Structure formats: structure tokens, C-alpha cells
Structure 1
Amino acid sequence: MAPKPSKRAAKSGGTNTAKKVKGPPEPFESAPDAMVPFLSLLNPEYVYITHVDDHPTFFKKQIFAVPVIMNLSIAIGLLYRLYVQLPWYWSLLLTVWGYETSTTVDKSKHTTKELVWIMLGRSAHFMIDFLLMRFIVPWPVSFFTEDGGNPTEWRLAIGFKDKEIYVRRSRSFKAKDILEAETQGRENPFFKVRIIPAVDTKIVRDKTGYATMGSDYDLDFGVMVAAERLIEKKTCPRVLFERTVWIHCGETHGWCRWDVDGEEAEIDDEEFLMSLAREAAKERGE
């Protein structure tokens, strides 16, 4: 006679089944199908934040004029530096090749102290130009010509609109820092320190989207242009870009979102209903 299956085994099997249907970590939920064309543009390694900037157009122009003027000034200064220094470097190169030029130094005509000062002066030239190339040149280059999207290309593509889509991409952390840690989702330290402050109403509402860049997030200008095109073609609804965090929760759940505005609206509704209940209780003398 075949032995009966134990209740413990059946109970264990039920627990395994329950584990299989576990959803994404709170507060994330599966992303809407309508956003698939947009989500296909994103890198699953990163966390993204979208919001719609409805600041007045003239205000956006004023804010954007600041980096334009700054980067143009830097570019002009660097070009002038190149214009002045290039002949000097060419003269040094000819000297190395054995030609006598204005930079050629005759050791017999200089004291040791003079030779030291000449060496220090040229070293200073090299150091200044190295620092300019290393730290300053990338600013105008990334602003005007960076591949994959840059502020200039973005503005030329979409102009200035009353409602603009902004897409921030995490830079100081990745999705795995939130999903693969001991505490996931809302209780994760990165979620509390990197995500919650970034979606704060004061930051999103008081600043223009361009000013939301920082040490934790970059603006993904290429994706922002593509998002505007998807909205123009009515492929994705603009309302789904409102203050939302997007994260890829692995093959099981795929892309998920935290609808910040929707959650806050629910909380406001609950608080409103609770206040009505308290007022009703006071009227009844409870």
C-alpha cells in the first residue's frame, strides 16, 4: 500500500508556490504596457526618474542661457590658448628634432640658476595645459558635441516647451544596489538617501528640469529627445512620465515603476478621509 503524502510536505510545497508569486519590492509595481517603447530605450543597469517640467518657457530660457554663455566663454578661451601655445609647442618639437628655434637653449650662455628657471617655466606651461585638457576641455565638449545626446542637441531638437519631459539616470549607484542588497525597495539605504530626496516635491516643482542634475543623477539627453518624439507620435502618454522612478527588477518582473504622484495622491485621499472621520467622531462626542 502506497504511503500517504505527509502534511508537512504538502505545506512545504505550498510555501514554495507562494514564494514563486512574490512581486517586486515595495513600492515598485510592474510598468504599464504603454511605456514599453520608452523603456526599451533605457539601460537596465541604472535607475531612472522621469517628470514633466511645466515651468514657464521664458524661465527655462533664462536658466539654459547660463550654461550656454559659460561654455561658449570657456570654448573661446581654450581656442585662444591653443592659438597662442600651438606655435610654441611646434617650436619645441623642432628643437627636439635638432633644429635651432626660439625655444632652443644654449647651456653655455646660461647659468645653472637660469637653466632651472627655464625648466620650471616650461614645466608650468605643460602642467597648465594638462590641467586644462584634463578638467576644463570636457565641459564645452560634452555640452556641444558629446555622443549619445548633449544639451545643445537636445535643445535644437525640441526647442522650449511649456511641458517638457526630463529623464534622470543614476550615476552614483545602480539598480543592483537597491535590488540585490539585504534590504530591498523602500527600506534600502540607497532608496532612502538617493531616490527619496531626488523625487521630493520641492526639488521637482521648484527647480527647472535642467537644474536637477547633480552628483547622484545625470540627465539622459538622448532619451529625453526620444521621449518627446514618442509623445508627439502618441505612442506613449505624457501623463505616465509624471514623477516616476523606473527600475529593472530582473527577468522575473522586468521594468517596474514607483508612481510617486499617484502614491502621494492616495495618501492625501486617506488623510482627507481620516480627517472627515475624526470630525464626525467629534460631532458625535466620541
Structure 2
Amino acid sequence: MPPNKTKERAFKDPNSTKSKLSAPIAPPEPFKLPPPSLEQFLPELSKKHVYITHIDVKTWEFKRKIFMVPLAMNILIILALLWRARSIGPYYMKICFSITGKVNEMTLDTRRMTSSDIAREILRRASKFMADLLLYIFVWPWPRDFFAGRVIGNPIAWRFGVGFRDKEIIVRRSRKWINQLGNVFDDNSPGTQLLYSNIRQAVDPIWMNEKTGYLMLNKEWDLDWKSMVLATKLVDQRKMALDDFKTTVLVYNEEFGWMASGVVVPQGSVAEEEGRRKIIAFKDELTAMGKENLFFKWIELVQFESSKPGAFGSAEQEKTTAKAKAMFEAQGVDFDQFWAKIGGMQGMPGMDRI
């Protein structure tokens, strides 16, 4: 994803011969240099892809139930393919022997057959071969990648390496759409807009809460099983902290190296950008505390209060804040301390007059 020459000149000092030896220059917003704690993890990532890390806080029992479904499905597929191979194997072997001159019941005596019979037999054999070929091309890769995938690892190796935990590190990797990206600093390019769109959908708090990490596989994002095992090992060995993998977007650029962003936002007002950032920080902090349910209770409370007849002005917002404070403290969360930690309530959608 190299930047174009125009952008590249904009970030370099042509009069300085020491720029390469100096400290790295911070990339333009919304990106920033990744924290030093990620230095052990980033070299293992492919520079050709965009990554999203986050912490999956669904219960380990729920994750196990979800995982059992594809596990059972892939075992059944393997059994079905083995049955097919066992039943059709002798058929193909006899055809091969017939070709080599060993006469058997599959050998055709074309001198005594009509043209229509020959054509019918060729079509019958070709249809069987084509059906088995399609099974090999389109069905066999599912269990093969599930049990023995190598490029980004496989789910079985991930589960054997990590097990089932209440807090798991999830690493998503971009699929083929990344080839359309181009210069990530050109907000007007279709590739950058596609990047923004795919990332915003992928880090949407409501969407992420509805799915455990395994269910986030889709046409835009793959799961990097190897990276998830590595990240978990680094945390288990206390070389990194679990919080280092909170919701973060990682993009590589030739000018700045790896860049990080909590949320990548397309064109919009500063207030809109701040609102999105606050929602993500709000949700991530509650998730880290094991109080994710408070995030949704807060959303429901603000939506309910703001939808009442009349304006949702300063007085109404203060009353809503008082109710939220009681709700937080009922679950043992210091309301004032919590908001101070994420930078205050200013900018939160629906609470702009506090």
C-alpha cells in the first residue's frame, strides 16, 4: 500500500539528509504510531493486509458451543468424503487398469457398441468424474483448512493453543478487497473510502457485541489464527498485556511503517469523529472491567430519555446522567472516576450539552 509520490513528498523534508536516522515522524490523523508494547507482535503480521485486534469477552461456555458446530460439520464432511472415496475408488481403479490393457468389466469393446452407446457411456463416466472433481475443488478445502490450514493457521491449532477462555484475543485480517486500497492518506480515493467503510462496520460496537470472535469471518475479514495464538502466548508469558489488544486497527505504510488507529473515520465533522471515538472507548473500558452489559443499558437509557416528547436539553441530560450514575454504582463502578478515565462525557452522542 505505498503512498503516491505527491503524498510522499508532503511528508518528507527534501533538505534533510538525516531524516532517516531521526525518530519516526507520526503519520497524519486518524493514524498514529503503534504503542511500543506491540513491537513484539507486529513483525509477525503481513504488510499486505489491514488488521483489527479486539478482546472477545463472551463466556467460554458460549464459545465452546459455537465452536462445536463447525467442528461437527467438518467431521461429517470428512466422513462423507471418505465414504465417497471408498465407494468410488474401485470404479476408477478398474478404469485405469482397463486403460493399461488389463481387461475387466469396465473395459469397453467399442467394435461391438453403437455410437450412441459409446457416447452414453462416455457421458456417464464424465459426469461421475466431474461430480467428484467438484467435491474435491469446492468441498474438500473446508475441512482441510479447518484442520490443517498453514498460511494463517487453522481453527483447530488455535483452540489447542489457546483453549476456551472468557477473554480471548481476536485478530482479523483483510481479504482480497485490500488490493484496491492504494494510498490510505487520500480521503477521496475509492480505495480509502472502502477501507473506512469496511473498518467502521467491523468495529461497530453493537455488531461486535452480538458476535463471538469465531463468527466474525465474512467476505471482508478473515481470522488470523496464527496471530491469535501468538498474541495469547505473549500475554500468558507476561511479555504483553491483554489490554494491548483492545480494539485497534493496524495498517502498514512504506513511509511510516505500522500505523494504529482506534477508529478510522471518513470525512465528517470533528464532533462526529469525537463521538465515535468516545463510544468505542466507552465500550472497550466497560468490556475490560467485565461490565459490558452497562454499555447497552446506557444506550437504552439515553435512547429512551431522548425519545420522550419535548427537547432533550441540558436539564433532561443532567437527569439522565443522574440515573446512569445510580445504574453504574449499583454494579460497583465509580461513575465519575470511570468517565474521567476515558476523557469525560463531552462529545458522547445525545449528551452534548452536559
- Range into which the TM-score falls when normalised by the shorter chain: 0.7 to 0.9
User: Which residue matches 1:6?
Assistant: none
Q: Say whether residues 1:110 and 2:113 are aligned partners.
A: yes
In structure 2, the CA distance between the partners of 1:275 and 1:168, relative to structure 1 (3 Å rule), is closer
In structure 2, the CA distance between the partners of 1:115 and 1:47, relative to structure 1 (3 Å rule), is same
Distance in 2 of aligned mates of 1:82 and 1:268: 64
Does the 8 Å contact 1:178/1:190 carry over to 2? Answer: no
Does the 8 Å contact 1:47/1:175 carry over to 2? Answer: no
Among 90, 105, 120, which residue is 2:123 paired with?
120
Does the 8 Å contact 1:51/1:242 carry over to 2? Answer: yes
Q: Which has the higher helix share?
A: 1
User: Which residue matches 1:221?
Assistant: 225
Give the counterpart letter for 2:347 in structure 1. E
Shift of 1:222: 0.7
Structure 2 counterpart SS, 1:255: strand
Q: Say whether residues 1:246 and 2:250 are aligned partners.
A: yes
Give the counterpart letter for 1:122 in structure 2. R
Q: Comparing 60-69 with 104-113, which one deviates more in the overlay?
A: 104-113
Deviations 1:124-157 (A, max 9, x none): 0111011011111111000001124100111111
Distance in 2 of aligned mates of 1:272 and 1:202: 16
Q: Comparing 104-113 with 262-271, which one deviates more in the overlay?
A: 262-271
Structure 2 counterpart SS, 1:196: helix
Where do residues 195-214 of structure 1 align in structure 2 (5 Å cutoff)? Answer: 195-214=199-218
Distance in 1 of aligned mates of 2:348 and 2:165: 35
In structure 2, the CA distance between the partners of 1:272 and 1:69, relative to structure 1 (3 Å rule), is closer
Per chain length, whose mean CA-contact separation is higher, i.e. which structure has more relative contact order (CA < 8 Å, sep 6+)?
Answer: 1
Q: Say whether residues 1:160 and 2:164 are aligned partners.
A: yes
Distance in 2 of aligned mates of 1:274 and 1:126: 63
Among 66, 70, 75, which residue is 1:67 paired with?
70
Shift of 1:158: 1.0
User: Which residue matches 2:194?
Assistant: 190
Shift of 1:206: 1.1
Does the 8 Å contact 1:48/1:168 carry over to 2? Answer: yes
Among 227, 247, 269, which residue is 2:345 paired with?
269
Among 71, 81, 92, which residue is 2:84 paired with?
81
Does the 8 Å contact 2:278/2:348 carry over to 1? Answer: no
User: Which residue matches 2:146?
Assistant: 143
User: Which residue matches 2:45?
Assistant: 42
User: Which residue matches 1:5?
Assistant: none
Q: Comparing 54-63 with 23-32, which one deviates more in the overlay?
A: 23-32
Does the 8 Å contact 2:25/2:256 carry over to 1? Answer: no
Distance in 2 of aligned mates of 1:43 and 1:18: 33
Q: Comparing 90-99 with 259-268, which one deviates more in the overlay?
A: 259-268
Shift of 1:241: 0.7
Distance in 2 of aligned mates of 1:165 and 1:22: 29
- What is the TM-score with the length of structure 2 in the denominator? 0.67
Shift of 1:179: 3.0
Distance in 1 of aligned mates of 2:260 and 2:212: 23
Distance in 1 of aligned mates of 2:53 and 2:129: 43
In structure 2, the CA distance between the partners of 1:176 and 1:257, relative to structure 1 (3 Å rule), is farther
In structure 2, the CA distance between the partners of 1:262 and 1:205, relative to structure 1 (3 Å rule), is same
Q: Say whether residues 1:170 and 2:170 are aligned partners.
A: no
Does the 8 Å contact 1:175/1:248 carry over to 2? Answer: no
Q: Which runs of 5+ in 1 are unaligned?
A: 1-14, 280-286
Deviations 1:216-264 (A, max 9, x none): 11101011101000001111111121111011122x4221111249653
Among 29, 32, 36, which residue is 1:29 paired with?
32
Distance in 2 of aligned mates of 1:22 and 1:188: 21
In structure 2, the CA distance between the partners of 1:242 and 1:96, relative to structure 1 (3 Å rule), is same
Q: Say whether residues 1:53 and 2:56 are aligned partners.
A: yes
Distance in 2 of aligned mates of 1:124 and 1:55: 47
Distance in 1 of aligned mates of 2:223 and 2:88: 35
Deviations 1:35-84 (A, max 9, x none): 10011111111100011000011111111111111111111111111111
Does the 8 Å contact 1:168/1:217 carry over to 2? Answer: yes
Does the 8 Å contact 1:51/1:166 carry over to 2? Answer: yes
- What is the TM-score with the length of structure 1 in the denominator? 0.83
Does the 8 Å contact 1:244/1:259 carry over to 2? Answer: yes
Note the aligned Cα RMSD (angstroms). Answer: 3.0
